Amino acid sequence: MARASKRDEIVAAAGRVLAREGAAGLTAAGLAREAGVSKANVFHHFETLNAVVLAAFEVFLLGMDTMAPEPGTGLRDWLLALGAETIAQMDEDPALAGAYFAFAARAQADPDLRERLAQLAQTVEDHFVASLEMLAPDDFTATERRDLAALILMTGDGLAMHRQLFPERGESQAAGWRAFVDSIVPKGQ
């Protein structure tokens, strides 16, 4: 098995620190220590600490199994699995999920960070468009796929945020996601 690159090791370390300590716990020195590299090595691979965090979030989001559905998966099954995996991720890594939302909140006051998050959101949307094209090629026009991909992203973010803030409401959150799926692909279709 090939050894991970230093860049990949730094990204993985950022994910661990964020999951363990949240956004406030991520410092350049702490990240370097966790990754087993120098601070200079961190900044050799990344322009800013924000760039490391964005790379960690990209790995986190795009690493979800449902981001690459198997051919032949039904659209309804994929959407239900996406919601279930989102809930599971929030439950398994609440600090990382919290860091994501704290980081997103910081982006409101930081135009560069906001732009980078917008690029990440676009990447996720593009994955959803590709999944919709593969799973339901004749069900939607290109414009409808793009619009639906945006809606899936926004609804998934809402599900993740509610799961983060109100974990005790898990049953209603899962029911809400199922209702969302029903509005796109009614049962029996």
The tens digit of pLDDT for each residue in 84-134 reads: 999 998 888 777 777 777 778 878 888 888 898 899 899 999 999 999 999
Placement of tokens 């981001």 in the chain = 67
What's residue 116's pLDDT? 86
In this predicted structure, what is the pLDDT of residue 99?
75
DSSP per-residue codes, 12-75? HHHHHHHHHH-GGG--HHHHHHHHTS-HHHHHHH-SSHHHHHHHHHHHHHHTSGGGSPPTT--H
Band of pLDDT at residue 184, cut at 50, 70 and 90: very high
- Over residues 49-96, the pLDDT tens digits come to 888 888 888 888 888 899 999 999 999 999 999 999 999 988 887 777
**1: helix, strand or coil:** coil
Confidence band (pLDDT; 50, 70, 90) for 137? very high
pLDDT digits (tens, 9 = 90+) for 4-46: 689 999 988 888 888 787 777 889 999 999 999 999 999 999 9
Classify the phi-psi angles of 36: left when phi > 0, otherwise alpha if psi is within -120 to 50, otherwise beta.
left
Q: Is the pTM of this model over 0.95?
A: no
pLDDT at position 2 is: 54
Query: Looking at residue 56, what is its pLDDT?
Result: 83
